[in-house]
Chains A and B, each alone.
Chain A
Amino acid sequence: MANVRVAGTGLTAFGASPERTGRDLFAEASIAAFEDSGVHRDDVEGVLYGNFMGELAEHQGHQGPLMAEAAGVQAPATRFESACASSGAAVREAVKRIRTGEDDVLLVGGTERMTNLGTAGATEALAIAADDLWEVRAGTTFPGAYALMAQAYFDAFGGDREELAHIAVKNHDNALPNENAQYQRAIEVDDVLEAPPVSEPLGLYDACPVSDGASALVLTSEDYAAEHDLEAPVAITGTGQGGDRMALHDRDHLARSPAAREAGEEAYADAGIDAGDVEVAEVHDCFTIAEVLALEALDLEPIGEGISAARDGRTTADGELPVNLSGGLKAKGHPVGATGASQVAEMAMLLAGTHPNSDHVADATTGVTHNAGGTVASAMVHVLEVVA
Chain B
Amino acid sequence: MSDIDEVADAGFDEWLDAAETGDAYCLECANGHGSLPPRRVCPDCGATNLEEIVLPETGEIETFTITHVPTPAFEQDAPYATAIANFGLVRITGQVVGVDPEAVETGLEVALEITVSETTGERVIGFQPVSP
Evaluate contact between B106 and A139: CB separation under 8 angstroms.
no
When distances are taken between beta carbons in the complex, the residues of chain A under 8 Å from B62 are 152, 254
Does more than half of chain A's interface fall in helix, strand or loop, or is it mixed? helix
Residues of A within 8 A of B74 (CB): 139
> Is B65 located at the chain interface by the 8 A CB criterion?
yes
Chain B, interface residues (CB within 8 Å), range: 35 or more
> Which residues on B sit within 8 Å (CB–CB) of A200?
65-68
Greatest chain B CB density within 10 A among A135, A138, A141 is at A138
Tally of contact residues, A, Cβ under 8 A: 37
Which of B9, B69, B90 has the most chain A CB within a 10 Å cutoff? Answer: B69
Task: Tell whether, in the assembled complex, residue A147 and residue B65 are in contact, meaning their CB atoms are under 8 Å apart.
Answer: yes
CB within 8 Å: A-B pair count: 106
Query: In the docked arrangement, what's the CA distance between A249 and B63, Å?
Result: 10
Please determine whether A254 and B84 come into contact, CB atoms closer than 8 angstroms: yes
A124 to B70, CA, bound (A): 8
Within residues 258 to 317 of chain A, which ones have a CB less than 8 A from any CB in chain B?
A: none
- Return the chain B residue nearest A123 by Cβ: B71
Q: Is residue B109 contacting chain A, with contact meaning CB distance below 8 A?
A: no
Per-residue B-contact encoding for A137-160, CB less than 8 Å = 1, 0 else:
111110110011111100100000
A198 near B72: Cβ-Cβ < 8 Å? no
Say how far B40's CB is from chain A's closest CB, in angstroms. 15
Could you tell me the distance between the alpha carbons of A198 and B79 in the complex, rounded to whole angstroms?
9
Known A139-B77, A148-B84; contact A199-B69, beta-carbon cutoff 8 A: yes
Q: Which residue of A lies closest to B15 (CB)?
A: A133
Cβ distance A126 to chain B, nearest Cβ, rounded Å: 9
Q: Tell whether, in the assembled complex, residue A139 and residue B124 are in contact, meaning their CB atoms are under 8 Å apart.
A: yes
Residues of chain A touching chain B, judged by Cβ–Cβ distance below 8 Å, are 119-121, 123-124, 127, 133-141, 143-144, 147-152, 155, 196-202, 245, 247-250, 254
